[in-house]
């Protein structure tokens, strides 16, 4: 019984050390040019739509840059 307990504890320890160790995810960025936007409502709609997408953590819309 002690041998079985030792094997289980060893298995859990190895899983915790090696099974959970993953590389951190690097953030990626993308620039999307949209023509025809001229008001703050356009900005709000685009930002809202982008933030609903999986994996999007931040959306910045700049009317001055286009």
Query: What DSSP character marks residue 19?
Result: I
Q: Which residue has the higher pLDDT, 66 or 34?
A: 34
Q: What is the pLDDT of residues 22-56, one digit of tens each?
A: 667 778 888 888 888 888 888 888 889 999 998 88
* Three state DSSP letters for 22-44: CCCCCCCCCCCCCCCCCCHHHHH
| pTM of this structure | 0.54
């Amino acid at each position: 019984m002690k041998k079985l307990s030792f094997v289980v504890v060893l298995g859990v320890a190895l899983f915790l050390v090696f099974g959970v160790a993953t590389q951190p995810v690097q953030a990626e960025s993308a620039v999307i040019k949209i023509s025809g936007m001229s008001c703050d409502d356009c900005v709000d709609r685009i930002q809202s739509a982008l933030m609903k997408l999986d994996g999007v953590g931040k959306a910045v819309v700049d009317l001055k840059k286009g």
